Amino acid sequence: MDLMHEIITLQFGEEANHIGTHFWNTQETYFSFDEGQRSPVDSLVHFRPGLGVGRVKTFTPRVLIYDLKGGFGSMRLLNALYSEDDASETNGHEVIQEPKVQQISYQQGLESGIAKELKGQDIRFWSDFNKIFYHPRSTIQLNEFSLNSTITPFNEYEQGSELFNSYRTDLVDRDVRKFAEECDQIQGFQIFSQSHGPWAGFSSSYIEELQGEYGKTEIWTWCSEIDPNTSSRREREKRCLEFAKSIISNVELSSLYLPLKSPISYPAYLAIDRTSKWQVSGLLSLAMETATLPTRLKDEKLLMAAVSEILKETSARKIASLKVSFPKFGTREIDLALGESADHKFTNFSCLRSPTPQSLGQLEPSYVTPLQYPLIDTFPPIFTSQEKEIDVFSSISTDSGQINRIKDTQKVVAQMLRGEERSELIEALQAISEQLMGPNDYDYENDESDN
């Protein structure tokens, strides 16, 4: 019997859960209940089989979802798949109580079986556009802080680290272990978090503990900056300093670190409101889900470790950039990396999903699949021409753009800090920069002088 090569996902906070919700909604579409129609996606990579009410066979995500009190919106701990007896499987955490938040019309329709349109203006929480039933031990509410509290705000990197440390002996062992024990052979952990702020601090501490327990397992850390509201220079500098702390920790402990952002501008064929987490996270998730699609295909599956090897080659580079393009509209790539524009690409792994592969100019896919990306009812209407499926080209690369971002971060750290902490951060960032440049193949200084 073939091993499953499972992937366990961990999601930390509001932005991460927006991306994760799009990801899981998409995975659900790959299930095939028609015996005559074989799905190309091995859903057992991301879903765990189990038994629900009446011993009905169920499939629920291999995921741990962390959020603050109030962050789960109208989501219930117990859904149609589980009974009160299953509530005991919450790993000892205080459970999500029956919500006081009113369900939006779309969620009411899902419950009643009467289809209703999802309207962007109705979305308040990531759970408002969620279509998935989760196991009770997947959803973990941290009650020390409330979402968007003005009395005790959760908005500092150190708060996240301190919150994790208050749970340190529990979270990884109690939450991850049960999911890991269900697996035949884990191919890796997929982390969704933020590049700054308290969830960056929380996830960095979490990954440190995770790496200690599962050191030989791939850990891919996707950290986003969806919210564009950086109204003041002080806030931008604060984010940059927190990004420095986050990247230093994550690059050391992760197999790959992939910082994401909302682009400043978009091509004309995309109509995206940059203030909408639903819309921006939809694009980020689409690109990420496409780039990683080969890790969950039934035929010619490419494991996370193999992709990491392609990207690293013989170097120690761990920071990678994500780009996406849509062949229908041209070959211009949209840069979704939290870094500067890249003028030099070191390594690349890409996936083209199209039933009719065509010339992409200089873009040469590493992997081609006829499976298009499904534009389901919970995906935001960001394309000016609406279709049910779309061809996508998505790539993960190591490139000079991340070196530029590290150099800029060093400058901010030098301006903001003094003393030992300043020296330690600058030294650590310099080491990362040197790793990215590699031993022989890129001369950053000469490249800078040519521009």
In the chain, where the domains are located: 6-403, 404-450
pLDDT digits (tens, 9 = 90+) for 150-172: 999 999 999 999 999 998 667 89
If you count them, how many residues does the chain have?
451
- Residue 78 confidence class, pLDDT cut points 50, 70, 90: low
Structure tokens, 409 = 């971060």
- Could you give the residue ranges of the DSSP H alpha helices within 113-197? 157-167, 177-181
Structure-token pair, residue 361: 């100019």
- Predicted local confidence at residue 90, as pLDDT: 56
pLDDT at 83: 52
Residue 143 has pLDDT above 90, yes or no: yes
**Interstrand relation of 345-353 and 367-369 (parallel, antiparallel or unpaired):** parallel
Which residues pair with residue 118 across a beta bridge? none
Average pLDDT over residues 244-273: 93
Q: Could you read off the pLDDT of 261-309 as tens digits, one per residue?
A: 988 889 999 999 999 999 999 999 999 999 999 999 999 899 999 999 9
Residue 140 has pLDDT above 70, yes or no: yes
Query: Residue 122 is encoded by which pair of tokens?
Result: 């109705």
DSSP code of residue 437: H
Confidence (pLDDT) at 89? 57
Q: What separation in angstroms does the CA of 107 have from each of 104, 110, 139?
A: 6, 5, 18
Please state, in angstroms and rounded to a whole number, the distance separating the CA atoms of residues 415 and 417.
6
Residue 326: CA count within 13 A, CB half-sphere: 19
Confidence (pLDDT) at 57: 85
Residue 98's pLDDT is: 47
The sign one gets for the Cα dihedral 108, 113, 116, 117 is: positive
> Does pLDDT of 20 surpass 90?
yes
Contact 245, 416 (CB under 8 A): no
The mean per-residue pLDDT over the stretch 384-410 comes to 90
DSSP 277-322: HHHHHHHHHHHHHHHTGGGGBSSS---HHHHHHHHHTTS---B-EE
User: Which stretches of 330-369 are DSSP H helices?
Assistant: none
- For helices 233-253 and 400-416, the axis angle rounded to 10 degrees is 120
Contact 239, 404 (CB under 8 A): no
β-partners of residue 225 are 261
Would the pLDDT of 451 be above 50?
A: no
Closest CA to 260 of 23, 446, 49, 426: 23
Q: What are phi and psi of 370, to 5 degrees?
A: -75, -5
Predicted local distance difference test score (pLDDT) of residue 36: 73
Residue 449 confidence (pLDDT) above 50? no
* pLDDT more than 90, % of the chain: 67
When comparing pLDDT for 9 and 439, which is higher? Answer: 9
Is the pLDDT score of 91 beyond 90?
no
For range 221-247, the mean pLDDT: 85
> Residue 335 has what pLDDT?
93
Asked if 298 and 41 touch (Cβ cutoff 8 Å), the reply is yes
Is the domain 6-403 a CATH 3.40.50.1440 member? yes
Does residue 448 surpass a pLDDT of 60? no
State the DSSP string of 202-234: HHHHHHHHHHHHSTTSEEEEEEEE------SHH
Averaged confidence pLDDT in the chain = 88
State the Cα–Cα distance between residues 33 and 230, nearest whole angstrom: 46
Confidence category of residue 64, pLDDT binned at 50, 70, 90: very high
Q: What is the pLDDT of residue 342?
A: 65
Task: Please give the average per-residue pLDDT across 248-265, as a whole number.
Answer: 93
User: 179-220 pLDDT, tens per residue?
Assistant: 999 999 999 999 999 999 999 999 999 999 999 999 899 999
What are φ and ψ of residue 286, in 5° steps? -55, -45
8 A C-beta contact, residue 115 and residue 125: no
Q: What is the pLDDT of residue 99?
A: 54
The pLDDT assigned to 129 comes to 98
Q: Are 51 and 57 in contact (CB under 8 A)?
A: yes
Mean pLDDT comparison of 91-95, 215-219, 335-339, 415-419, highest-scoring range: 215-219
Give strand pairing partners of 49: 59
Alpha carbon distances (Å) from 412 to 259, 407, 408:
18, 9, 7
CA distance 161 to 158: 5
